[in-house]
Chain A
């Protein structure tokens, strides 16, 4: 495989970082598919930023190896950084520069060419993140959200093959978060996005694949849908009465793998686990209503939240 013939934006093999007696990252094996929006989840101190620093050559691995866009992060660090855009958790720029000067300076680190061409590129980036109307204001007066958007613009100025964002929305208000996620969606068709976060709602909204890190170790990696649904799907329905008759009836169906009942007052909530979504979608409600007596007050396919999953996995890892 040549350097430019790669299918995974990031591949790590046993990547580790040890700080004296503390293991910051423990033998990470990660594969980030090209073209994905990859959420890198973990509690504080999990090793997310350490991983990003290793990928960018900001620190050296103690063991293991990693490639970014087909290039080794140690042997060809300049080649990696030529192809990557990076937004730090709290992006810092030179306060005396304006947004335009910052982007001009950044562009000159990647490109040579006529002044007009550089200015056009800078203008495109300012427009991309909606900063064109404040392009000539010094960065020192920028709000957190504006700074973050400038951070995305400078990270994208080289049309990177991989965009690495470290907690891009962590310090933002809801509007700022919305804007950053919107920019990420816009960039989906152009580049692979690898971003760390602990905001699980954002992950569900924009990611297609996630990895969960805890204590420096990878504890899960899968497409978001598969992670949330797992191998079985469950439905919840609420009926009047004890729910026993409906549960008994459902248990006779071959596609039902389990039924549990929770009662409150005169209502029973049945959680029905199935292994055939198609059969359940067409027959479950019909089965319950077949006796003509049952009143169903709610019915839905239950979806495990990423937050539940995250907490379960981290707690399981802690045990």
Chain B
């Protein structure tokens, strides 16, 4: 037997006592093992550490520095606006290859040769990445922010911050669904990243020019809304409408992604 290619030794027994074939049909087939795989990629590798350090440095590091050096700056607003902008860009950068990369490498074709639905493939990615970002790019910086706020200023933002964090989580979800859908539409990462980052920057530069009724249904309004909510300020839009509109965007983007994926040759 060579070192590289050993001769197989004994044939395996064909028996598989106690194992039951999965008989689930339809769009959910394969979702649970695929989600476990996605979560394993976040939590079973060093990815969680890289993400955690990245967000702590980018968000809490900057906010902490500002709190120490410029007491006149509103730390809650800075924390939310900076955090939501950077995590949105982080979602695009991290997720741009989630679908395209699997198509290019051939792992998507390998998976789809197994009895799983294509909707499970996409939804498991949405679930896995959302969980990772919510935990490491939203919840962890928020906890650290509360601690550093107490340590530096002696006060913390309190309960309204939780509502703002929920809007932040929605912001992450919208861009995540968008980038995953883009991954089903394009064959390479470039257009996915360009459209994703372009959408975020367009909100930064042109968001103020868009009429209020229109911007209500876009994710661009979410950072300002989160900041207002954290301060307990009155807001010029209906928060339930904004939330419903952005959740609709998530559903539509995911639906388009699944529709495209089911018609695509892998």
Instruction: Kindly identify, within residues 30 to 73 of chain A, every residue whose CB is under 8 Å from any CB belonging to chain B.
Output: 53, 56-60
B100-115 interface bits toward A, Cβ cutoff 8 Å, 1 = contact, 0 = none = 0000011101101111
Q: In the complex the two chains form, is A117's CB within 8 Å of B109's CB?
A: no
Classify chain A's interface size.
Answer: 35 or more
Residue of A nearest to B112 (CB): A58
Most buried by A among B29, B114, B266: B114
Q: In the complex the two chains form, is B44's CB within 8 Å of A179's CB?
A: no
Select B37's contact among A84, A105, A114, A127, beta carbons within 8 Å: A105
Q: In the complex the two chains form, is A114's CB within 8 Å of B110's CB?
A: no
Q: In the complex the two chains form, is B113's CB within 8 Å of A113's CB?
A: no
Q: In the complex the two chains form, is A82's CB within 8 Å of B5's CB?
A: no
Residue of B nearest to A96 (CB): B45
Q: In the complex the two chains form, is A159's CB within 8 Å of B16's CB?
A: yes
In the bound assembly, the distance between CA atoms of A108 and B40 in angstroms comes to 14
* Chain A contacts for B41, CB-based, 8 A: 94, 96
* Chain B contacts for A127, CB-based, 8 A: 8-10, 12
Indicate whether A92 reaches chain B with its CB closer than 8 angstroms: yes
Q: In the complex the two chains form, is A130's CB within 8 Å of B7's CB?
A: yes
In the bound assembly, the distance between CA atoms of A84 and B110 in angstroms comes to 12
Given A129-B8, A179-B6: A92 in contact with B20 (beta carbons within 8 A)? no
Indicate whether A241 reaches chain B with its CB closer than 8 angstroms: no
Indicate whether A296 reaches chain B with its CB closer than 8 angstroms: no
Indicate whether B97 reaches chain A with its CB closer than 8 angstroms: no
Q: In the complex the two chains form, is A110's CB within 8 Å of B17's CB?
A: no
* Chain B contacts for A289, CB-based, 8 A: none
Indicate whether A109 reaches chain B with its CB closer than 8 angstroms: yes
Q: In the complex the two chains form, is A108's CB within 8 Å of B113's CB?
A: no
Indicate whether A259 reaches chain B with its CB closer than 8 angstroms: no
Residue of B nearest to A113 (CB): B19
The count of A-to-B residue pairs whose CB atoms sit within 8 angstroms is: 138
- Nearest CB of chain B from residue A128's CB, rounded to whole Å: 4
Residue of A nearest to B107 (CB): A92
Indicate whether A183 reaches chain B with its CB closer than 8 angstroms: yes
B112-144 interface bits toward A, Cβ cutoff 8 Å, 1 = contact, 0 = none = 111111000000000000000000000000000
Q: In the complex the two chains form, is A59's CB within 8 Å of B266's CB?
A: yes
Indicate whether A264 reaches chain B with its CB closer than 8 angstroms: no
Q: In the complex the two chains form, is A96's CB within 8 Å of B5's CB?
A: no
Q: In the complex the two chains form, is A113's CB within 8 Å of B20's CB?
A: yes
Select A88's contact among B13, B17, B106, beta carbons within 8 Å: B106
- Residues on B close to A: CB < 8 A? 1-2, 4-14, 16-22, 25, 29-30, 32-33, 36-37, 40-41, 44-45, 105-107, 109-110, 112-117, 263, 265-266
Known: A88-B106, A111-B21. 11 other contacts (CB 8 A): A58-B266, A59-B265, A78-B115, A82-B115, A88-B113, A90-B106, A91-B110, A92-B105, A110-B22, A128-B12, A178-B5
